[in-house]
Amino acid sequence: MKLTINKLRKEAMTFCEHESNITHDDLIGVTDGKAVGTYIEHKFEEYLNNKYEITIGSSGKGIDLPDPHINTDIKVTSIKKPQSSSPFENIEQKIFGLGYNLLIFVYEKTDIHNDCYLNFEHCIFIESERSGDYNLTKILRKMIELGAKEEDIMEILKDNNLAADNPTLEILAKKIMKKPPKQGYLTISNAFQWRLRYINVINLEEDVEGIYKNGEYNEKELSEYRIPLFFTNQICEYLKKDLKINPDIIIEPKCEICNFLKSASRFFPNKKLYGIENDENKLTFKFDNIHKNNSFLIIGNLLPNTKLNNSNSKINLFNSDFKNKTKTESSKNNFNTPESILLKIIGEFKNTTSTIAFLCKTTTSRNIFLELIKNNIKYSFIKQINIDLTKIFKINVNTCLFILQFGGNPITNKICEVSDFSNPSEVLYELDFVSDEIYFNIKDIPPIDGKCEIEWRQGVKHDCASVMELTYKNNELMNKNNELIDIEHTFLYPLLKSSHLKKPIVNETLKYIIITQQKTKQDTSYIKNEAPKTWKYLNDNKKYFDKRKSAVFKNAPDFSIGIGDYSFKKYKVAISGFYKIPMFSLVYGKKTMMLDDTCYFLPFDDYDDAYITMLIFNSKLVKKFLENIAFLDSKRPFSKKVLKRIDIHKCLELLSLEDLKETEKELGLKDYITKEKFVVYKKAY
C-alpha cells in the first residue's frame, strides 16, 4: 500500500494514541532527550514500514521520509524544551521554509516505579511553506502589505543578521517582493545548524492551512483529553489500597481508549470488565445479563465531551428509575451533561453494593452532592479529591476524582470531605449542605445568609462588542474594529467592564457604549430621527447584530439589547462576576454609568444609600461569608445566585458604625459615613 500525506497524518495520530497508553521499558531511567527521540523515531518508522511501501532515509543524512510525494522529516522533542536541530543549507530557508515538510512529535516522559510512560501531548504536521521563521515572515508580510520597497526589505534582513553579503540580500529582497512568503510557524535561530523551536505552533489556536495539529488540549475541547495510563493506574491503586474495594464487576462508561479498564485489570485481576462505547448520538447499555447481587466499580472520565454537549444528542445510559427532579447549576438548559450521566448511573446502582469513581470538574462534583441531598439518596461514602491537571495537560481546569459508594451503612450527615490527590487522607475542607445551599465549613460561617432586600441586576447584554463598545483615543471615537466613528452623543453612555471594578469608588472611564433602548423589546426606529449618524452606523454594521445567537435578541427589534429601567439609576454598587477576590465598587458619573453583562450591581437613587451599602459589602463580615459560599473554581464565583444570599438586615444587626469606619479606612477612603447617616440607613433597611 502506498503512503500518502493524509495517511501519514492519520497514522501519526494513531501511533501517538497507542504509544501513550503502553509502557516503554527500554526508556526507564533514560534522561537523554536524543536517545528518547531516536527511540520514538525508529518505532514510528517501523510502524509505517509494516503497513506501507516507503523509503526510510538514513539517520543524520537527509530527511527521514524522502519519497518526493512525502518529503517529510520526523522531529521528536520533549514538551519541557520543544526544539530540535536541522541542517543549515541557505538563508532562504528561514523565509520560504525548509524545503520539506515536518512531522513533529511532542512528548512528556514520566517514570513511575518500574514503568515508563510517554504521553504524546502534540502531533503536528507542517507543510514546507509554513516552516519558515515566525517573527521574520510576520514582519516581512506586514511590511509588504503596507507598501514597503526593496531597500526596506533589505534593512529588515540585515537587522535579522542573515549571514549574506549585500548582493545576495538584494536578490533575496527582490524575490520576497515578487513572491511574499507564507506565514511561518517555527523559530529559527542563526547558526551553522538551524535550531528549530516549536512553541509558536504548539500555542497555535486557529486553524491554518498547511498545519495539521492534534493533541492540543484546551478547555473548549475537553473531549480531546486522553487520560494517560500512568494516571489511571494511580487512581485504581488508590481505590484498592486506600478504600479497600474489591468489586466483582468493573464498568467504564463512555470509554474511548479504555485506560481505566486496563488499569483495573492490573489492580483488580480476574474480574469481569465491561467497556461501554461512546456513540455519537446515543449512549445505551442494558444490564439484563448482570446480576445485581454483585459488587460494582463504575469508573471513568466525565470531563465535558463536545459530542455529548451537542443538543441533538440523546443520552440513555441505563434504564434508570432515578429522575433528576431538580436542575443543577450547569445543566439548566442542557440534558447532555456530565451531571446527567452521573445521575443516571447513580439511579441504576443506588440499590447495589457499588463504588462510583469519576474524573470530572469540581462544579460537577458539587452539583451531584447537592442532587443526592435534595433527592434523599442514601449513600455510605462520598469524597471529592481535587486533582491538578496542569501536571498532565498543561492547562488550568479545576477537576477532581468524585467518589460515591452504596451498599454500606448510610451516612446521616450532609457533609462531603474534600482532599487533594497528593494527600487524599488530609481533609482540606468540608462541603456542608443546609437548606438547599452548599457551604464551605459551616461552623465558621457568619449568620447573614438570607435574601438581599434589593434585587441584584446584571449589566447590559448586547453580544456585539466590536460595534457597540467604543473608546476615546485622541478625542476621537474608535470601535473595536479600529475604525474611527462619527456619531451623535445622544445614545452614548460611559461603560465599565469587570476589569474596571478594582477600586471602591469608580467615576471615570474612557470606554463608551451605544444604548439603543430604555427597556427590552422597545422599538429602535426612533433613533433614525433623533440621531441619524448613529442610525446609519448601526445599519452599516447590521451583519454583526444578525450573527447574535442569544434568545434575548430573537424576534426583537433591530439592534436590541438586554436592559431595564434599573440600568439608568444614577448610583450602583457593582462587582465583577469573574474575579476571585470580591471588590464592591460604588459607580457613578455625570451621565449614568453602564456596566457590561460580566458585572452585577444594586441600583440606587441616593448616594448615601449606595455608599453605605458599598461599605457593608466590603466589610470583613460579608467577605468572610462569601468565602464560605462562593466557589472560586466556578467561571463566575460571584454570580447573582451567590450575591442575593447576602441579607443586608442581618448584616446591620452585626455591624456597628465603628466596623464601617474601619472598612472605610481599609479601603483608603476619606471619612464620610456619620452616625446620622448610618441611623437613616438602618431605618430604611
Instruction: Say what the pTM is.
Output: 0.59
End-to-end CA distance of the chain: 81
Predicted confidence (pLDDT) at residue 311 exceeds the cutoff of 50? no
- Residue 621 grid coordinates: 463580615
Cα torsion through 518, 523, 525, 529, rounded to 10: -50
Q: What is the pLDDT of residue 324?
A: 42
Q: Cα separation of 127 and 321, whole Å?
A: 54
Distances (CA, A) of 443 to 170, 440, 446, 451, 473: 77, 9, 9, 20, 52
Q: In which residue are the cell numbers 512531522 written?
A: 103
Most confident of the ranges 113-122, 275-284, 313-322, 581-590: 581-590
Q: Of 66, 90, 74, which Cα lies nearest the Cα of 12?
A: 74
Mean pLDDT of 308-316: 40
Q: What is the pLDDT of residue 492?
A: 95
C-alpha count within 13 angstroms, C-beta hemisphere, residue 217: 23
Q: What percent of the chain has pLDDT over 90?
A: 50
Q: Cα separation of 318 and 310, whole Å?
A: 19
Element (H, E) at 402: strand 398-406
- Residue 563 grid coordinates: 436592559
3-state secondary structure 227-248: CCHHHHHHHHHHHHHCCCCCCC
Q: What is the pLDDT of residue 276?
A: 76
Beta partners for 299? 357
User: How many CB atoms lie under 10 A from the CB of residue 408?
Assistant: 10
Residue 432 DSSP label: E
What burial class does residue 289 get, using C-beta atoms within 10 Å of its C-beta: 0-12 exposed, 13-18 middle, 19+ buried? exposed
Mean pLDDT of 606-620: 97
Report residue 13 CA to chain centroid gap. 24
- Residue 497 grid coordinates: 467592564
Distances (CA, A) of 165 to 149, 151, 181, 190: 19, 14, 21, 15
Predicted confidence (pLDDT) at residue 318 exceeds the cutoff of 50? no
Binned at pLDDT 50, 70 and 90, residue 576 comes out as very high
Element (H, E) at 72: strand 72-78
Q: What is the pLDDT of residue 226?
A: 64
What burial class does residue 191 get, using C-beta atoms within 10 Å of its C-beta: 0-12 exposed, 13-18 middle, 19+ buried? exposed
Binned at pLDDT 50, 70 and 90, residue 314 comes out as very low
Q: Cα separation of 385 and 418, whole Å?
A: 6
Q: What is the pLDDT of residue 321?
A: 45
Mean pLDDT of 469-493: 90
Binned at pLDDT 50, 70 and 90, residue 461 comes out as very high
Q: Cα separation of 363 and 341, whole Å?
A: 14
Q: What is the pLDDT of residue 292?
A: 67
CA angle 80, 81, 86 (to 5 degrees): 150
Residue 139 DSSP label: H
Report residue 677 CA to chain centroid gap. 45
Residue bearing the bigger pLDDT, 303 or 95 = 95
Q: Cα separation of 387 and 633, whole Å?
A: 12
| Cβ contact 564:457 at 8 Å | yes
pLDDT digits (tens, 9 = 90+) for 361-398: 898 999 899 899 888 899 999 999 999 877 665 556 78
pLDDT digits (tens, 9 = 90+) for 111-129: 877 888 898 888 999 999 9
Q: What is the mean pLDDT of the chain?
A: 85
- Residue 148 grid coordinates: 514597503
Q: Cα separation of 668 and 38, whole Å?
A: 62
Q: Cα separation of 454 and 182, whole Å?
A: 58
Q: Cα separation of 624 and 636, whole Å?
A: 18
Q: Cα separation of 373 and 404, whole Å?
A: 13
Q: In which residue are the cell numbers 451533561 written?
A: 337
* 317-321, 564-568, 647-651: the lowest-pLDDT one: 317-321
Binned at pLDDT 50, 70 and 90, residue 439 comes out as confident
Distances (CA, A) of 675 to 82, 609, 657: 64, 14, 7
Q: What is the pLDDT of residue 180?
A: 93
Mean pLDDT of 265-271: 91
User: How many CB atoms lie under 10 A from the CB of residue 199?
Assistant: 14
Q: Cα separation of 477 and 314, whole Å?
A: 49
| CATH class of the domain at 222-444 | alpha beta
Binned at pLDDT 50, 70 and 90, residue 38 comes out as very high
Residue bearing the bigger pLDDT, 659 or 212 = 659
Report residue 167: phi and psi, to 5°.
-60, -40
Binned at pLDDT 50, 70 and 90, residue 257 comes out as low
Q: What three-state secondary structure class fits 6?
A: helix
Binned at pLDDT 50, 70 and 90, residue 473 comes out as confident
Q: What is the pLDDT of residue 149?
A: 85
Predicted confidence (pLDDT) at residue 331 exceeds the cutoff of 50? no
Residue bearing the bigger pLDDT, 243 or 208 = 243
Q: Cα separation of 36 and 60, whole Å?
A: 15
Binned at pLDDT 50, 70 and 90, residue 215 comes out as very low
Binned at pLDDT 50, 70 and 90, residue 320 comes out as very low
Report residue 414: phi and psi, to 5°.
-105, 60
Binned at pLDDT 50, 70 and 90, residue 481 comes out as confident
Report residue 602 CA to chain centroid gap. 29
Strands 594-595 and 492-496: parallel
* 5-14, 54-63, 81-90, 414-423: the lowest-pLDDT one: 54-63
Q: Cα separation of 526 and 315, whole Å?
A: 48
* 45-59, 169-183, 533-547: the lowest-pLDDT one: 45-59
pLDDT digits (tens, 9 = 90+) for 64-94: 999 999 999 999 999 888 888 888 888 899 9
Distances (CA, A) of 502 to 123, 336, 435, 581: 42, 37, 33, 10
Spell out the domain ranges in the chain: 5-133+184-216, 222-444, 457-684
Report residue 7 CA to chain centroid gap. 31
Binned at pLDDT 50, 70 and 90, residue 268 comes out as very high
Q: What three-state secondary structure class fits 618?
A: coil
Mean pLDDT of 149-153: 86
Q: Of 360, 364, 382, which Cα lies nearest the Cα of 301?
A: 360
Beta strands in 407-538 (DSSP E): 415-420, 429-434, 437-440, 457-458, 469-473, 476-479, 484-485, 492-496, 505-506, 511-514
Report residue 24 CA to chain centroid gap. 32
CA angle 497, 498, 503 (to 5 degrees): 105
Q: What is the pLDDT of residue 540?
A: 94
Q: What is the pLDDT of residue 3?
A: 92
